């Protein structure tokens, strides 16, 4: 395998020195990719076997097809086989989901999944809980309903992100979606494996491929492609690791562009015509606790590229990472490490070799803003769009809150397409204004709030990854823990006199960073059972990395850790200064000093001990609904209700 590996690398080599990795042993996954015959085996064989799960090699290849083998970690019993199940992820550039696909996913979730659909942080949908025997039907159904899962996971280009707001009167948005689609196409695996395995070889007629993209894929820059390979861009070994791209417009950072391996920003002229793109590269968030050589990193500005050359530049950057990314150590394999190790100048030089000419300097850009596009909005062509907030992206039905049913009814009745947002929400668009009230009524009837001002604002701007019970890498809870955490933070803020304050809070069950916690103003990163690393100081528009404040905070100690910080913030913030900006301005050392000398209750209206009372499930559900409706925390609702009730007793 080693020889073949070196040969391929040499074929791709330009004038630069051979990559240092050539002298070290490639990681195990490189061999699995080589043996897979372009992503066919062992999946093609094992999918036909009557088993509950795949072999380790097949699991690695299955990822490229958009599915992860998982087990329900709540059901683990020592000595018994795991409760194996599969997660299936869609690849939907710019988060675009046609109505037919949404309805198919909704049915699949009920028939084969865990009755929920999950909107992801990269504008995809995930189904969880699918058994191996149903995996083929699930993936085939997605393909036949205009979707795809090919390349949603694995060592290749992942879902290409783009701003979700479906504006029809802002040409720059149209360009962002078009190029997100085209770049996704450019970098789609060309192997026949996907259709062979999931559709028995039947090729589905999908939208015609853009001929410019097709030509660009075959065009050899200086070593960007492998001739006569089933995979002209990727070759036998695909990428060293996942590769993430976004295309956005100046000022719109709904896509968290600094966290991407490659970010393109549409540059138009005064007439609104596309001229080219500013290019950033080298962002990435995954890290491992106590391994300083792994870190979150934000992307650097690299260059400007004219629109005619954009595919060639994307290929040049992909080829640079493909050939020089570290294939010996998967923890050091992302593009961010290559750029960190080389520096931007060397990276640019190598990219230019593949590109075949010098790149142009980066163009100045306006300030970035973060938008979530929730609520009712004009889309610019007389129609409306409606952004619906989804807690941690989980679309499900509960007793008094039937989000899944409501979305199905609305999509079905009005045949509405969806754009998923990078903050795990959904936007329904192309809505005829005449249907506004009827749609509003469906959501109201099902207990879903459409007015974003009526949502608890900490929840609105928060994100949490799935973590337990599905994620095999979770160290602790995230999605299931965040409602309680936000509730406690709201109570704490109210008590220290920061009643309507809100900021970006993100939580993950491990340091991989799937909900991008390192860009949050307040981030929680699982570091042990019920224990989190706390990160402070990201910006409200996600342009700055946060910093680790505490490594291990037990969840029970949340108030002890956060109260002094909030009190300090209240006391010393500048006018309109956000929490993250404050933490960065004063610095973590100053915050630590304040916290160390902080005496709860000394003139700061500090929080007293928290008391816990259990409520029955049915009361909890009603309470949750009432609190959401009133835009209050559950604690506040209980507090007022009990005060009222107890008054009768103290009076008698
Ligand atoms: Fe992620 C692995 C979920 C976005 C960094 N991610 C995983 C896996 C597949 C766990 C595994 O490998 O066994 C998780 C499946 C959990 C489950 O039960 O569903 C998982 N990642 C997710 C999603 C669903 C989180 C969410 O809350 O929505 C997101 C799916 C996006 C999509 O549609 O493609 C998701 N993951 C991200 C992001 C954010 C982003 O891409 O904008 C990151 C940080 C950015 C980055 O890549 O640097 C991210 N996920 C990781 C990593 C660390 C990668 C690294 O470079 O170290 C892993 C682990 C790995 O790859 O080894 C990982
Ligand atoms: Fe799993 Fe960790 Fe990603 Fe959360 S951040 S989904 S725990 S890999």
Summarize pLDDT for 258-278 with one digit per residue, the tens. 999 999 999 999 999 999 999
Residue 441 lies in a domain: yes
Per-residue pLDDT band for 18 (boundaries 50, 70, 90) equals very low
- 248 shares a domain with 102: yes
Ligand 2 centroid to 287 CA: how many Å?
Answer: 11
- Selecting among 63, 465, 544, 583, the annotated active-site residue is 465
Say yes or no: 421 and 316 in one domain.
Answer: no
CA 175 to centroid of ligand 2, rounded, Å: 32
pLDDT digits (tens, 9 = 90+) for 321-351: 999 999 999 999 999 999 999 999 999 999 9
Question: From the CB of 197, is ligand 1 less than 6 Å away?
Answer: no
Q: What is the pLDDT of residue 645?
A: 82
pLDDT at 4 over 80: no
Q: Please tell me the total count of domains within the chain.
A: 4
Let me know whether 173 and 289 are in one domain: yes
Distance, CA of 643 to CA of 646 (rounded, Å): 5
Distance between Cα 271 and ligand 2 center (Å): 44
Range of the domain at 491: 458-596
Ligand 1 atom nearest to CA at 330:
62
Q: Is the CB–ligand 2 distance for residue 87 below 6 Å?
A: no
- Ligand that lies nearest to the alpha carbon of residue 296, given by its number in the listed order: 1
The verdict on 323 and 392 lying in the same domain is: no
Instruction: Supply the residue whose CA is at minimum distance from atom 58 of ligand 1.
Output: 512
Whether 466 is in the pocket of ligand 1, judged by its Cβ within 6 Å, is yes
> Does residue 12 surpass a pLDDT of 90?
no
Q: How far is the CA of 508 from the centre of ligand 2 (A)?
A: 6
Q: Is residue 368 part of a domain?
A: no
Q: What is the DSSP letter of 2?
A: H
- Please check whether residues 405 and 527 belong to one and the same domain: no
The pLDDT confidence band at residue 612, using thresholds 50, 70 and 90, is low
User: Does residue 514 have an active-site annotation?
Assistant: yes
* 202-211, 221-230, 418-427, 436-445, range with the lowest pLDDT: 202-211
Q: Is 467 found in the same domain as 450?
A: no
Q: Are the C-beta atoms of 89 and 126 separated by less than 8 Å? A: yes
pLDDT for res 632: 67
Q: Examine residue 627 and state whether it is found in any structural domain, yes or no.
A: yes
Instruction: Note the pLDDT of residue 602.
Output: 53
Question: What separation in Å is there between the alpha carbon of 513 and the centre of ligand 1?
Answer: 7
Closest ligand to Cα 511: 2
What ligand 1 atom has the least distance to the C-alpha of 152? 34
First to last CA, the chain: 85
* pLDDT reported for residue 619: 81
**Computed over its alpha carbons, how large is the radius of gyration of the chain?**
25
Provide the CATH number for the domain around residue 434: 3.90.480.10
498 secondary structure, DSSP code: -
**pLDDT the model gives residue 631:** 62
Query: What's the mean per-residue pLDDT of the chain?
Result: 92
Predicted confidence at residue 207, as pLDDT, reads 62
| 318 shares its domain with 449 | no
Which pLDDT score, from 0 to 100, does residue 604 have?
46
> Is the minimum distance from the CB of 159 to ligand 1 under 6 angstroms?
yes
For residues 228 and 325, membership in a common domain is answered with: yes
25 is an active site residue: no
Query: Domain ends where: 432, 455, 478?
Result: 455
Cβ pair 530, 476 in contact under 8 A: yes
Sheet with 463-464, edge to edge strand ranges: 463-464, 505-508, 522-528, 531-536, 547-554
In a domain, 362, yes or no: no
Residues 432 and 478 in one domain: no
**6 touches 22 (CB < 8 A):** yes
Ligand nearest to the CA of 515: 1
> Which tokens sit at 517?
């916690």
Is residue 607 situated within a structural domain? no
> How far is the CA of 339 from the CAs of 160, 259, 342, in angstroms?
21, 14, 5
The helix (H) or strand (E) run that includes residue 388 is strand 384-388
- 401 and 491 in a single domain? The answer is no
Asked if residue 281 and residue 193 are part of one domain, the reply reads yes
The percent helix, strand, coil of the chain (3-state, each to 5) is 40, 15, 45
Report CA dihedral (127, 131, 132, 137) to the nearest 10 degrees.
Answer: -60
Please identify which of the residues 33, 63, 89, 334 carries the catalytic annotation: 89
Pocket test for ligand 2, best of 467, 482, 523 (most atoms within 8 A of CB): 467
State whether 62 and 188 are in the same domain: yes
**Residue 178 CA, ligand 1 centroid: distance in Å:** 25
Q: What CATH number should be reported for the domain holding residue 297?
A: 3.30.413.10
- Phi, psi (5° rounding) for residue 569? -60, -45
Judge contact between 142 and 88, C-beta under 8 A: yes
Residue 363 lies in a domain: no
**Longest Cα–Cα distance in the chain:** 91
**Residue 96 belongs to some domain of the structure:** yes
What would the mean pLDDT of 162-166 be, rounded to a whole number? 97
Residue 387 contacts by C-beta under 8 Å, 6 or more apart in sequence?
164, 372, 373, 374, 375, 377, 421, 425, 426, 427, 452
User: In this structure, is residue 609 part of a structural domain?
Assistant: no
Predicted pLDDT of residue 16 = 38
């Amino acid at each position: 395998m080693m020889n073949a590996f070196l040969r391929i690398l040499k074929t791709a080599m330009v004038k630069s020195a051979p990559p240092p990795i050539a002298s070290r042993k490639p990681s195990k996954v490189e061999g699995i990719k080589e043996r897979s015959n372009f992503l066919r085996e062992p999946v093609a064989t094992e999918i036909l076997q009557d088993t509950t799960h795949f072999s380790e090699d097949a699991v690695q290849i299955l990822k490229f097809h958009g599915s992860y083998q998982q087990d329900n970690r709540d059901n683990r019993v020592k000595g018994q086989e795991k409760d194996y199940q599969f997660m299936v992820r869609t690849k939907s550039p710019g988060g675009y989901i046609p109505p037919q696909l949404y309805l198919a996913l909704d049915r699949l979730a009920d028939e084969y999944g865990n009755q929920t659909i999950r909107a992801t942080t990269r504008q995809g949908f995930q189904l969880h809980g699918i058994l191996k025997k149903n995996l083929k039907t699930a993936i085939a159904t997605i393909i036949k309903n205009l979707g795809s899962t090919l390349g949603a996971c694995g060592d290749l280009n992942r879902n290409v992100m783009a701003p979700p707001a479906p504006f029809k009167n802002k040409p720059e948005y149209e360009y962002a979606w078009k190029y997100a689609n085209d770049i996704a196409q450019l970098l789609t695996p060309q192997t026949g494996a996907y259709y062979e395995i999931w559709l028995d070889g039947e090729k589905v007629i999908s939208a015609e491929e853009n001929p410019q993209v097709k030509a660009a894929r075959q065009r050899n820059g200086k070593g960007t492609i492998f001739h006569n390979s089933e995979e002209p861009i990727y070759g036998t070994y695909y990428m060293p690791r996942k590769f993430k791209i976004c295309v956005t417009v100046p000022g719109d950072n709904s896509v968290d562009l600094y966290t991407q391996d490659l970010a393109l920003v549409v540059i138009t002229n005064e007439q609104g015509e596309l001229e080219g793109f500013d290019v950033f590269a080298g962002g990435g968030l995954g890290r491992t606790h106590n391994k300083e050589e792994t870190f979150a990193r934000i992307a650097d500005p690299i260059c400007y590229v004219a629109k005619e050359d954009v595919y060639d530049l994307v290929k040049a950057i992909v080829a640079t990472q493909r050939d020089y990314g570290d294939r010996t150590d998967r923890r050091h394999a992302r593009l961010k490490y290559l750029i960190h190790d080389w520096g931007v100048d060397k990276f640019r030089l190598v990219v230019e070799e593949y590109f075949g000419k010098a790149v142009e300097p980066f163009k100045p850009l306006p300030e970035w803003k973060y938008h979530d596009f929730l609520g009712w909005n004009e889309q610019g062509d007389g129609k409306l769009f409606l952004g619906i907030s989804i807690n941690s992206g989980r679309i499900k039905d509960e007793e008094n809150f039937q989000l899944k049913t409501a979305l199905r009814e609305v999509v079905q009745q009005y045949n509405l397409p969806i754009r998923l947002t990078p903050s795990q929400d959904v936007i329904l668009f192309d809505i005829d204004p005449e249907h506004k009230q009827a749609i509003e009524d469906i959501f109201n009837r099902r207990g879903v709030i459409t007015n974003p001002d009526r949502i608890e604002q900490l929840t609105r701007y928060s994100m949490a990854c799935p973590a337990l019970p599905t994620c095999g890498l979770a160290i602790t809870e995230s999605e299931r823990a965040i409602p309680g955490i936000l509730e406690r933070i709201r109570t704490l803020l109210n008590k220290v006199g920061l009643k309507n304050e809100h900021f970006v809070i993100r939580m993950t069950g491990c340091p991989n960073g799937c909900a991008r916690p390192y860009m949050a103003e307040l981030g929680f990163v699982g570091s042990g059972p019920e224990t989190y690393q706390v990160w402070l100081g990201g910006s409200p528009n996600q342009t700055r990395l946060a910093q680790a404040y505490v490594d291990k905070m037990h969840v029970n100690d949340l108030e002890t850790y956060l109260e002094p910080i909030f009190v300090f913030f209240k006391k010393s913030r500048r006018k309109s200064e956000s929490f993250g900006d404050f933490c960065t301005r004063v610095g973590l050392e100053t915050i630590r000093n304040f916290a160390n000398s902080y005496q709860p209750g000394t003139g700061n209206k500090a929080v007293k001990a928290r008391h816990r009372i259990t409520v029955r499930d049915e009361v909890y559900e009603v309470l949750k609904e009432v609190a959401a409706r009133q835009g209050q925390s559950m604690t506040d609702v209980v507090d007022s209700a009990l005060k009222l009730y107890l008054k009768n007793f103290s009076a008698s």
